[in-house]
Structure 1
């Protein structure tokens, strides 16, 4: 019994890193996604093209390749990042690209009549977006956002590729040392707990934003 507690405790230490990368990614990628979406639905053609290239690049290449490029490739040109910084930057840019398209689709799903009504009421573009369009769009994109949130938890397993002690690497070390599959089962349970918490959080958000239906 004590051995199971020790194994779980060791794997949970990797879970702390998983949570740190997860939180950092959410903090930076969601604002990036909102900004990218607002640019894509605007008339700023040059910036629109830049965002198009950004989303095409980060959605069209593997996250692991992007992680390798940031951590192993950038030092070749003199930019050296710590493993955590490289991971947080890569994950934020990658998920920011996906969130850009999710937010864009949400914004464009709102009836154009609401823009016209806001204009008649004398509201500025910023007021229209912040008070009318974005709250409704946010409600509509919650399901795909939840999916991305779950995927992000699972993608953190890639952290082991650059030497970070995440959940999977911690479990694999014990499996290699003790030749038992128990650590993998414990790791799976921890991942399931994390994803269940995310699902519950999004259900509460859906309930909160149901007022915009």
Structure 2
């Protein structure tokens, strides 16, 4: 078998790869940030002693943990616009709605996992720390914000890192609704050049290097901010 890498010299090919990579990173960053913030909200809401709210949040988490991610993306892209008024739907269709809906779907999906990881970290913290925080006048919210939550995040670094890696790889699923991320662009190049092995070898190495980079950053964070308490 002969390998031909000459297609990489084409400016159009290089441009597609760079554009796809940047879109992948943008999608990952938007989904991670949105998912992390949503997870904090979920954790806070589940701490409220109101049974209907707790039940709703449990349903939310179980839906996003048990329905395939690609289905969730398609539900948001094909289903949700049908529930909106015509004017809103037309406005969404004028922009990059594919990227927006993919980011929303991935954010909500990962938020369910992040919230469970954070709650596991909270459960690992001795209740005496909460009692001590309340004894010096902190409210329940302040005790969580300043005492338990920072420790829970540090304890939860390994599972949060693992889920972040999965989220990064899940960005490739956005191609099913036309988001021109790395996998989408690689497939487009393969259709034009018919150099399947070479093109997908590039994609493989790119995803591998970026995944190792995320792992390295997570390991650095774990060493830089070790948990004050280890359960």
1:132-143 aligned at under 5 Å gives the runs 132-143=147-158
SS in 1 for 2:76: helix
Match 2:115 to one of 91, 97, 100: 100
Match of 1:62 in 2: 68
Once residues 128 and 22 of structure 2 are traced to their aligned partners in structure 1, the CA distance between those partners, rounded to angstroms, is 47
Q: Secondary structure at the match of 1:204?
A: helix
> What is the TM-score with the length of structure 2 in the denominator?
0.86
Q: CA RMSD in A?
A: 1.7
Residue 76 of structure 1, CA deviation: 3.0
- Cα–Cα, structure 1 residues 78 and 40, in superposed 2: closer, same or farther, change >3 Å? closer
Aligned to 1:200: 216
1:126-147 deviations in Å (ceiling 9; x for gaps): 2211221011111111001111
Which one of the candidate residues 64, 80, 101 is aligned to 1:86? Answer: 101
Aligned to 1:25: 31
Structure 2 residue aligned with 1:39: 45
Alpha carbons of structure 1 residues 78 and 129: separation in structure 2 relative to 1, 3 Å: closer
What's 2:159 paired with? 144
Partner SS, residue 226 of structure 2: helix
3-state SS of paired residue (1:210) = coil
Q: Report Cα offsets for 1:103-146 as digits up to 9, x if no partner.
A: 11111111111111112222221221122101111111100111
- 1:65 deviates by 0.6
Aligned to 1:3: 7
Query: Unmatched 5+ residue regions in structure 1?
Result: none
Query: In 2, Cα distance between the equivalents of 1:52 and 1:171?
Result: 38
Corresponding residue for 2:179? 164
Residues 1:209 and 2:225 aligned together: yes
Gaps of 5+ in 2: none
Detail structure 1 runs of 4+ shifted over 4 Å in the superposition: none
CA–CA distance in structure 2, aligned partners of residues 158 and 211 of structure 1 = 34
Deviations 1:27-52 (A, max 9, x none): 21111111211222332322211111
How many residues align? The count is 213
Q: Which residue of the partner structure matches residue 130 of structure 1?
A: 145
Partner of 1:190: 206
* Rounded Cα–Cα distance in structure 2 between residues aligned with 1:20 and 1:44: 37
